[in-house]
Chain A
Amino acid sequence: MSNPSRRGVLRLSAGTALLGTLALAGCGRGDTATATAKATAESVDDKPATGTVNVWAAQGDADVLAKVIKPFKAANPDVTVKFTLIPNSEYYTKLQAAIAAGKGPDVAQFFPESQAQFLDPSILRPVPDGLVDSGVFFKSLWDAGLVKDVAYTVPWYAYTYALVYRADLARKAGVKPPTTWAQMVPFFKALEGAGAVRGLGADNGWDIFNGQDVAMYAWQAGGSLLSTDGSWTLDTPAVVDALKYNASFFTSGSADTATPTFLDAQPYFVSGRTATMITGPWVLGQLDTAAKETGWTAAHVATAPLPAGASGSVSFSAGGTWGVLADSGNTDASWKFVRYVSKPSTQVAQYSAYGSLPAVISAWDDPAVKKQPLLDAFLTQLKNTKAFPQVGSWQQVATRLGKEVETVAKGTQTAEKAAASIQAYAKSLGTGAE
C-alpha cells in the first residue's frame, strides 16, 4: 500500500507536528494576518543572470520549456535553470507540501484559474516594479495575480474553451455551429445524423474541470459565483440553469457519461465516435497525431466560440503564470527567467513548440499564430472571458461542484438540490479570506 501522496501527508504531519501542537495553545487566525510582512517590491537590472534557478512546473506546456529558453541560457552563460516537472493532478499538492516544508523551488508555475491560495507575501514575492508591463497581457490573466493591487504572478500562456467540431460532418449535415444554448443539442443531433456516434465527447472526470465548465455556463446564464460583498452565490437560478444545460447533453443522448476517457477523447473524435469537444486550443495540435495524418485537422476540423446563454458567450480565462517564491535564494536570476518567458518572442517560440497560446496580446500578431484560422475562435473567446473567483477556497468549491455535476448528469439528484448542496458546502468553507 505504498503511495507517494500519502507518504507526503505523513511527512508533512511530522514536519509540522510541533507547530501544530503549539497551535492548540489557541492563537487565532486573525493574529497572523497582521503579522505577515507587507509586500515590498524590488527592482531587476539588465545584467546577466547568475547562479541556479530551480523551476517547478506542471507537465504539459512546460515539457518544452528547456528547449524554448535555450536563447536565455546562451545570453546568460553563468545561469543554470533546473526544471522539475510534476504530473498535473499532483502539482498543487506537492507544491503546497514543499512550500510548507520550506523546500520549495525558486520559481513555480501556477494556474490563474486556481492560484489565489498562493497569493500571499509569505509564499510569493511581489512582482518587481518595471519587470513587465501589465498592459501587454490579457487583462483577466494579469488580474488573477493581484491581491490588494500587489501583483504576485506574471502570465505565461493563455487558454480558454471554445467549440472544436467536425467540420466535415457539419457540412454533410448542412448545419452551422450553434450560437445559442438552444441550438446546441440540435447541432449534436445533426452531427449524429451525419455519421457521428455521439454529438459531443464530454470530459467526464467529474472533477474541478467539470466544476469550471458549469461555472462558465452560469456566467453565460447571467449568474455570478460570488456576490459583491464576497460571499458565495451558487444556489441561484443561473447555476441551476447551468447544471441543467450541462445535463441536457447527457439526457439527450448526445454525450455519454461513461466514455470517452481523457486518453480516448482525441482518437474518438478523429474516428467520428464523437463529433464535438468543448475544449482548449492545445487539442488542435494533437489531432494530426491522433489521426496519423498530416493535414487531417485542417481538412476535418473547425472551431467556434461557445454558444451564448441568456447573458452571452462568456468563457473563463485560464493558462499558466509564474511566481517567485518568498524563500528563493536567487530572486534576481529567478525574475530574469520570468521576464524572459513573458517576452512576446519567447511566447511565440513556446506556441511553436507546444501550441501554448500567448498571454501577451501582441504575440498573437506574429505570423506563426496569426496564420492559424482555427485559433480565431479562441482569440474571439479570450476577449470575452471572466476570471474564476480569486478566493482561496475556489479550487475546493470547483472540485465539489464537479461531483455535483455528475449527480445531475446521471439523474440521481435534481439541479436545484445540487445547487443547494454546493452552496451549503461553499458556505461552510467560506472564501478562504476569513
Chain B
Amino acid sequence: MTTTLVPAARRRARNSRRTAVAWLFLAPFAVVFLLYTAIPTVAALGFSLTDLRGSDLRHPLAVDFTGLDNYLRLFQDPTFLRDILNTAVFVAVGVPLTMAIGFGLALALNSGIRRLRGVFRTVFFAPVVTNVVAVALIWQYAFNAGGTVNKALAAVGLAGPNWLDDPQLAMPVVILLGVWRNFGTAMVLFLAGLQAVPEDVYEAAALDGAGRWRQLRHITLPLLLPTTLMVSVLLTVFYLQVFDEPYLLTDGGPLGSTESVSLYTYHQFGSGQLGMSSAASFVMLLLVLLVSAVQFRLLRPRT
C-alpha cells in the first residue's frame, strides 16, 4: 500500500506545483483581461440598465435603474437602426472586397514574382502599419470637392462630385479606406496559408492533368479553408466595429450615411448619454458574437 501511496502524493504535489506555475504565468494576462475587458463589459451591462448620464459621473450611485428601457429606446431610434444597416453594408462590402484583394495579391506573390516577394509584401502591408489619422487626413484632402481626385478627373475633362458630402458616395470612399488599410493583413495571412500547402500535392495534380484553375479550385481553396475562416472572422469583427475610418473621414455624415454602430456609441457617450451608449455597445458585442458564431459554423472544415 505504502509503495503506491507515496508516488501518488508526490504526483499530486507535482501537479499542484505545475498548476501554481500555470496560474503564475496566466496572472498578468488575467489581471489585464479582468481590468480592461471583463470588468468594463460587466460594467457596460450594468450601466446599460440605468439612466446614467455624464453629469452623474461624480455620484454614480444616484442613477436610476431603468431595466431594458435603453434597449427599447435603441430599437425605436431610427438613427440606431440606420447605423445597424450602415454597419451591415460595411461588413457586406468591406469583408469580401478586402479578402478578394488580399487573396489575389497573395496568389500573385506566391507564384509569379517570388524573388521580389519580400519587397511587395512590405509595400502592400504598409497601409496596415501606417497611422490612420494621417492617412485619413490625406484621404480627406484627396476626396474634397477641390481635392486631388477631382483635379485628376478634371484633367481628363470630367467634373468630379463632392465625394464626402454626397450620402451615396461617402460610404464607398469610407469603405475604400477600410479596404486599403486591411487588405495587407488578409494578404499576409493568405500568403502564410498558401506557403503551407505542400508543393508535391500540386505536382501530383499536375501529373494527373489538372490545370491551374482546377488546382486552385480543388487543392488551394479547400486547403486554405481554415485560413479563410480566420481572415473572414477577423475582418468581420473589424468591420462590425469600424470606427476610425468613418470618424476621421466624415464623422458619420453626410446625413448620417456613414455612421456605424461604434460611432453611434461614441456619439452617445460624447453627448453624455452613458446608459444609452453602454446599451449600444452591448448590442454590438452581442452582434459580433452572433456573427462570429455563425461564421465558425458555416466555414468550419468538415472532416
Residues of A at the B interface (CB closer than 8 Å) are 1, 3, 5-6, 9-10, 12-14, 16-17, 19-24, 26-33, 35-36, 93, 96, 99-100, 117, 120, 122-123, 206-207, 256-259, 261, 264, 392-393, 395-396, 399-400, 403, 406-407, 410, 412, 428-429, 432
Contacts and interface: CB of A to CB of B under 8 A. Distances in A.
A14 B35 contact: yes
A32 B61 contact: yes
A28 B36 contact: no
A407 B255 contact: yes
Interface stretch (B10-18, B115-123, B268-276): B268-276
B55 A31 contact: no
B64 interface: yes
Nearest to B37: A10
Contacts of A22: 60-61
B64 A29 contact: yes
A246 to B, nearest CB: 16
Given A403-B256, A406-B254, A29 B56 contact: yes
Q: Chain A CB within 10 Å — which of B61, B262, B277 has the most?
A: B61
B63 A23 contact: yes
Given A24-B49, A36-B59, 19 more contacts: A3-B243, A9-B277, A13-B40, A14-B35, A20-B52, A22-B60, A24-B46, A28-B62, A32-B59, A32-B62, A93-B270, A96-B54, A100-B58, A122-B59, A206-B254, A261-B144, A393-B272, A410-B254, A429-B273
B165 A257 contact: yes
Interface in B184-220: none
Nearest to A13: B40
Q: Chain A CB within 10 Å — which of B42, B145, B271, B273 has the most?
A: B271
B289 interface: no
Given A3-B244, A5-B266, A36-B59, A23 B144 contact: no
Contact of A6 (B50, B144, B266): B266
Contacts of A1: 238, 241, 243-244
B43 interface: yes
Contact of B271 (A24, A27, A261, A396): A396
Contacts of A395: 271-272
Interface string B115-133: 0000000000000000000
A16 B238 contact: no
B44 interface: yes
B253 interface: yes
B255 A396 contact: no
A6 B243 contact: yes
B162 interface: yes
B58 A120 contact: yes
A400 B165 CA distance: 18
Contacts of A258: 145, 162, 164-165
Interface in B41-83: 42-44, 46-47, 49-65, 73
B146 interface: yes
A17 B55 contact: no
Nearest to A27: B61
Nearest to B278: A13
B39 interface: yes
A396 B149 CA distance: 35
Contacts of B254: 206, 257, 406, 410
A268 to B, nearest CB: 10
Nearest to A123: B58
Contacts of A12: 57
Contacts of A3: 243-244, 247
Given A10-B36, A16-B43, A21-B42, A99 B271 contact: no
A35 B50 CA distance: 20
5 smallest beta-carbon distances between A and B, as pairs: A100-B57, A17-B43, A32-B62, A258-B165, A258-B162
Contacts of A206: 253-254
Given A13-B47, A24-B49, A117-B272, A406 B255 contact: yes
A307 to B, nearest CB: 27
Nearest to B281: A9
A392 B278 CA distance: 20
Nearest to A121: B58
Q: Chain B CB within 10 Å — which of A13, A393, A429 has the most?
A: A13
B55 A120 contact: yes
Contacts of B63: 23, 27, 29
Contacts of A17: 39-40, 42-43, 46
Contacts of A9: 266, 269, 277
B61 A19 contact: yes
12 contacts: A13-B278, A17-B40, A17-B46, A20-B52, A20-B60, A21-B43, A23-B60, A29-B63, A30-B62, A32-B62, A93-B270, A432-B55
